Amino acid sequence: MSKVTILQIGRKNWMNQLELPKNITWIYLRAGLASDIKARMKQGKIKSFDAVLVDDPLALWLLSDLRDYLAPYTVFYDETIKIVDPRVKQFTKEVCAVPTDFSQPQELLRILPKALFSGQYGDKLFPFQIQVQPRFKGKVTYNGHENMCLEGEYGSSFKPLLNWSYNIRVDKDRPVELWLEFEKEETCQCQLVLRVIPEGAVTDIAKTVIVSEEEMREGAIVLDQEMTYMISATLEAKGQGRLIVGNLHQRWTRFQFGKYLLGGGILHDRHRQELNYFFHPGDFKPPLSVYFAGFRPAEGFEGYWMMRSMGTPFLLFSDPRLLGGAFYMGSDELEQGVRDTIQHYLDYLGFDQDQLIFSGMSMGTYPSLYYGADFEPHAIIVAKPLANIGTIGNRARLLAPEVFPTGIDVLHMQTGGLENAEVQELDNRFWDKFKQADFSNTTFGLSYMKDEDMDPTAYDDLTTALYYSGAKILSKGTTGRHNDDSTTATTWFINFYRMILENDFGRKG
């Protein structure tokens, strides 16, 4: 496990009372002057802290002088501290300080270092990697990367119904959390059985974890076994009726401190569909830049360093569904979650819609335009725009089967069908909203492909729809098909971003 540096500022040194994990470099200071901390950093050649623990309210104000040394979500303060001073409140907002339960400090020191790793990782086991028990005589339907559906009798007591063909490897230094997509009728029940097999063992099972429906609905399943091991997963069921099983997601856990990244969050709906988000406060000055990740088989966030280089506060979204995303559409509940999250951070920053930019590339262009119609922001910046998702799915069947075959999964997932009526329904879902929006105060930056083969009419359709809207349009075409010359398309995407930041918000660099 990599070394982490933790600064504690408070009344008593925890190191004298608790057992510290071996990978912690521990620095303790009583609440005093910021110069004391800087002196200790210089003495120990420390450039930054992985975490700062504060159990003294006076220390929070002290830390405000160290703003440049503190990464967001790395200041953890005792949740019993009542912050009254408006200056301290503002500081804690600007560094996204985390109120934390300090009642069990030994447990906190056990899990916190495990959550401070760099990077991110997540993937999934797909429905077609599921094997159904031969004894099950009911109906089984596989729907690509979307799900599998079982209908029939499962018995009067829990019995194994299906298992995943591949195990999940867990490193002792990287505990994981699991999330299973499933839906069922009330007439049947299911539970997930996880068998922990030590690495290198053939038949030894160190532990069996049974996770009930209620526990699965409460949140992700966190597994932290202090050893390297394999997880063998089985779903058991009883009763009768319909059971739908989707992807089994696994990701490195940060426990209660975030998803994928410190401070990261996940939106869920009643169908157990997920969308991920992460907010970075930047310099707390306008605008708020919202970036939607493109098609991404690996789970986690995209564009962090690119958006951070802009200097603005930014909000990342990613879509872990299907093979690499489902264009950020979903139930009313899930889509409202996206809108509520964006509005929450606008309010958090004290900004309005004129201080908001939506952006994305490829698959990420669709939500930028789709949710942009809800907010009518200052700017929408997209590279390789896509708008007719129904048409994309339809073209994947015969006209362009090798361009984006996942489009068929998206079409079926969002409409429940694959016929012309569903194609038109999904296309209209976008245009009915987009054409009603008032973009008279919005600037569009469109970096498009001249030989677009995924959604050939998207650019023309967008410019036609915007012709009489009063919107300002900046566009640049690049020779090639959708997946060609991403470097040039991305360069123009960034150029549009920097032009708008400099001309409209006075930001340079």
Q: What is the pLDDT of residue 21?
A: 93
The correct CATH number of 122-251 out of 3.30.70, 1.10.3450, 2.60.120, 2.50.20 is 2.60.120
Q: Helix, strand or coil for residue 251?
A: strand
Q: How far apart are CA 127 and CA 147, in angstroms?
A: 5
What pLDDT does 36 receive?
Answer: 74
- Domain 4-116: CATH architecture, name and number where available: 3-Layer(aba) Sandwich (3.40)
pLDDT for residue 508: 84
What pTM value is reported for the model? 0.96
Q: Which fold has domain 260-505?
A: Rossmann fold (3.40.50)
Looking at residue 281, its amino acid is P
Q: Which residues pair with 130 in a beta bridge?
A: 164
pLDDT at 509: 65
Can you tell me the distance from the alpha carbon of 73 to that of 501, in angstroms, rounded to the nearest whole number?
26
Residues contacting 125, CB < 8 A, separation 6+: 164, 166, 168, 233, 247, 248, 250
Sorted by where each begins, the domain ranges of the chain are 4-116, 122-251, 260-505
Residue whose pair of structure tokens reads 């869920």 in the numeric block: 268
- By the 8 A CB rule, do 93 and 76 touch? no
What pLDDT does residue 34 have? 62
What type of residue sits at position 206?
A
Which residues, 6+ apart, have CB-to-CB distance to 232 below 8 Å?
A: 163, 164, 167, 194, 195, 197
- Which residue do the tokens 């996942």 mark? 406
DSSP, res 21: P
What is the structure's pLDDT at 38?
77
pLDDT per residue, tens digit, the chain (509 aa), is: 789 999 999 888 999 999 999 999 999 988 766 677 778 778 777 888 999 999 988 888 888 888 888 999 999 999 999 999 999 999 999 999 999 999 999 999 999 999 999 999 999 999 999 999 999 999 999 999 999 999 999 999 999 999 999 999 999 999 999 999 999 999 999 999 999 999 988 789 999 999 999 999 999 999 999 899 999 999 999 999 999 999 999 999 999 999 999 999 999 999 999 999 999 999 999 999 999 999 999 999 999 999 999 999 999 999 999 999 999 999 999 999 999 999 999 999 999 999 999 999 999 999 999 999 999 999 999 999 999 999 999 999 889 898 999 999 999 999 999 999 999 999 999 999 999 999 999 999 999 999 999 999 999 999 999 999 999 999 999 999 999 999 999 999 999 999 999 999 999 86
CB 8 within 8 A of CB 27: yes
Looking at residue 246, its pLDDT comes to: 98
pLDDT value at position 202? Answer: 79
Same fold, 4-116 and 260-505: yes
Strand 139-143 relative to strand 147-164, pairing: antiparallel
Q: How many CB atoms lie within 10 A of CB 121?
A: 14
How far is 69 from 334, CA to CA, in rounded Å?
A: 36
CA separation for the pair 448, 258 (Å, rounded)? 35
